[in-house]
């Protein structure tokens, strides 16, 4: 007799213009795939909550290197070392990133489009398209044409996506609600994950660590799983 499937909810708080969010999402996907291949009796249900790292910057974006240089007092060598660290972390996750010429800016429009895609059940697919375009193809996610093409690639109506993007108030209230949610969770940096509304997992946790958590939850009774979550995270 097959054991009953246990639902494991994973809330992912992320910004599409954060390379580590792509890395963390890839780690999570790899862990879910390994759980399937291992026949773990769990159903991992991933949801997305928005977070905007640099809302103070213009939507058209500015050169990312200049943002990193400012972070290090104008030291370009330190900024490029940080770029190198990002590329290495991505390579370790099986992602080939190209950060040269990348931009930073307010990702509000991308998030509004993601919330629109949620009504089609396509927000995670669109998220993946966006982070790939941004991190691997140097597409800027403040560019409405880039965003609309990402939507079309996810099987969403491109013209409708363009209408959402051209109306700055469209889905804005939903976005503010999502940002309030991330603030309520105490998120100050992304990626940030919350498992079963209880266990906070900050950072781009390695796939193997995610898998071990899934493995533990799969083997526990409901009471044991509740105790496990209580030990590692308070109610949120």
**What does the pLDDT read at residue 221?**
58
CATH class of 6-232: alpha beta
Largest CA-CA distance found in the chain, in angstroms, rounded = 63
Q: What is the pLDDT of residues 163-215, one digit of tens each?
A: 999 999 999 999 999 999 999 999 999 999 999 999 999 999 999 999 999 99
Query: What percent of the chain clears pLDDT 90, i.e. is strictly above it?
Result: 87
Which three-class secondary structure state does DSSP give residue 195? strand
Given a cut of 70, is residue 105 above it in pLDDT? Answer: yes
Q: How far is CA 125 from CA 134, 150, 155, 156, 225, in A?
A: 14, 9, 9, 10, 29
Quickly list H helices, the chain.
19-37, 64-71, 76-92, 108-118, 123-136, 144-153, 158-166, 172-184, 207-218, 222-232
Query: Do 69 and 81 contact (CB within 8 A), yes or no?
Result: no
Quickly list H helices, 95-201.
108-118, 123-136, 144-153, 158-166, 172-184
**What does the pLDDT read at residue 25?**
98
Q: Is the peptide bond before 10 cis (omega within 30 degrees of 0)?
A: no
Burial of residue 74 (number of CB atoms within 10 Å: 0-12, 13-18, 19+): exposed
**Per-chain mean pLDDT for the chain:** 93
pTM over 0.85: yes
């Amino acid at each position: 007799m097959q054991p009953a499937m246990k639902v494991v909810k994973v809330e992912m708080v992320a910004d599409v213009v954060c390379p580590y969010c792509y890395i963390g999402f890839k780690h999570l996907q790899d862990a879910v795939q390994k759980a399937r291949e291992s026949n773990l009796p769990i159903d991992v249900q991933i949801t997305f909550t928005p977070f905007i790292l640099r809302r103070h910057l213009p939507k058209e974006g500015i050169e990312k290197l200049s943002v990193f240089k400012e972070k290090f007092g104008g030291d370009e060598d330190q900024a490029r070392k940080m770029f190198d660290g990002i590329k290495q972390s991505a390579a370790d996750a099986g992602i080939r990133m190209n950060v040269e010429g990348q931009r930073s800016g307010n990702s509000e429009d991308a998030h509004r489009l993601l919330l629109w895609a949620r009504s089609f059940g396509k927000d995670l697919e669109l998220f993946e398209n966006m982070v790939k375009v941004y991190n691997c193809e140097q597409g800027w996610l403040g560019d409405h044409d880039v965003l609309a093409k990402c939507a079309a690639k996810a099987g969403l109506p491109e013209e409708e996506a363009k209408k959402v993007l051209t109306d700055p108030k469209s889905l804005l209230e939903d976005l503010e609600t999502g940002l309030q949610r991330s603030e309520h969770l105490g998120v100050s940096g992304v990626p940030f994950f919350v498992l079963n509304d209880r266990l906070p997992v900050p950072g781009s946790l390695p796939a193997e660590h995610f898998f071990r958590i899934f493995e533990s939850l799969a083997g526990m009774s409901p009471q044991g799983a509740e105790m496990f979550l209580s030990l590692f995270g308070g109610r949120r």
